[in-house]
Every structure is written in C-alpha cells, then in structure tokens.
Amino acid sequence: MTRKLTILGLAILAIPAALVLSGVTASADVEEEFTASEYPATLHGAQTTAHVFALSGGPEIKCEAATFTGTLAKKSSELTVTPSYSKCTTVIAGKVAGSTLTFPNCDYRYTKTGSEYHLECQPPQEPFFTIHVYKNAAHTENECTFKVNGTTAQQLSFENVGGEKGVVVVANLTGITYTRTEGTLGNCGPAHSTLTYTGTSTLTAKNEKGSPIGFDLG
C-alpha cells in the first residue's frame, strides 16, 4: 500500500465510513484548502505533546513519539498522511510495560464538507489499527491485543502557526470502538469498549531539495 501523510481519528460505520471532526476555526462559507508555497511538498508531522490512547476500563497507552508523513502535490481540501507511533508504554499490574501500534489498513485522510472536517482510514478496512501491550518494556511476551475499529464522536482542530512553522493539529477523539482479542479482563479490561485519543502535533513541509517551505490551511 502506498502510504502518504497525517494524524488522528477514525471511522466506524460499516460502509467506507467518515467521521465528522469539529473544532476548525473557519467560516462555513470559506473554502479552506491545505496549501504549500512549492509543490510537490513533503509533509512531516511531529508530536508537541504525548499522544495518549486511554481504553475505557483498560490500560492507558502513552506514546512519546508520534510522526505523520505524506506528500501534497497541489492545493487541496484533502490531505492523506501515514501515522507512526513509538516509545509507547503503559502500566499493567503496577509495572511499566511496552506497547506498539500497527496500522496495516489505515492511512489518515482528512476531507472537508462545509465547515466540518472528516477523517477516514484509507483504505477503509477494519480493523483500522492494532494495539499490542506486552508484559514488560522489552516487548518479549504479549499481555493484551486490541483491534481498533473507529469512532463516532470526536474533536479535531487545526491552527495555522504561519509560514514554515506550519499547522498545529489538536486531537481529542472519543468513542473510538475496540475489541480485545487477547488478554484477561483483570489486566486488559473489557472485551468490547471504547477509547479516547488525545494529542497535539505540528505539520510542516519541505520542497524537493529538502528546504523548509510554507504550509498552511486557509
């Protein structure tokens, strides 16, 4: 699968599902587009706060490194990025344990209808991603596995920083559904529930020479 760029959010409806993401500070009458000062623009997103996946009744996974990569070929109201999360840990039975997130079926794609943003997984297959929690920090023995399917309630906002400083993305996504496929209720929580995803990132752009360029949404 050719992978491209960005973060945050997922869709749950059985058919190619899109989620409505709110919080963009713009008028519904103004057509906002992702714009770079040169094309093609290589996009890179990095966390400015930790990205946290808090499972209802289960563990809380905290990722200290979240990145989003992609390409913007021209001015567009849509943006697709590939998410990657690392340095993820949680606490199981009072001990710090390692965790990984894998995205075999999901790039993040932002689209816009009126003043509302939608986040789709591309391609729209379930599960959208998988969370593995291990018994220790070395990732040598599995404790819990969760298949994550999507969300029905969420908040996502964009803020232009300006020029080469790019765009800040703030996620506060709730109601993301998951199924526990490995692990016990005592250590891993319920077999079916929802999680909340929070985190802040900044997206910036470079040209073909690798030099920083302007990138914004407006």
Evaluate whether residue 141 is within a structural domain: yes
Q: Max CA-CA distance within the chain?
A: 53
Evaluate whether residue 87 is within a structural domain: yes
Q: CA 85 to CA 211: how far, in whole Å?
A: 25
Tens of pLDDT, residue by residue over 143-153, are 999 999 876 55
Evaluate whether residue 112 is within a structural domain: yes
Evaluate whether residue 11 is within a structural domain: no
98 pLDDT exceeds 60?
yes
Amino acid at site 81: V
Evaluate whether residue 216 is within a structural domain: no
Evaluate whether residue 7 is within a structural domain: no
Evaluate whether residue 75 is within a structural domain: yes
**Model-level pTM greater than 0.85?**
no
Q: CA 154 to CA 181: how far, in whole Å?
A: 25
Closest CA to 118 of 34, 21, 31, 28: 21
Q: Is the link from the previous residue into 16 a cis peptide, with omega within 30 of 0?
A: no
Evaluate whether residue 63 is within a structural domain: yes
Tens of pLDDT, residue by residue over 17-36, are 333 333 333 334 456 889 99
Number of domains the chain is built from: 1
Q: Provide the residue range defining the domain that includes 170.
A: 19-210
Residue-level pLDDT at 17: 34
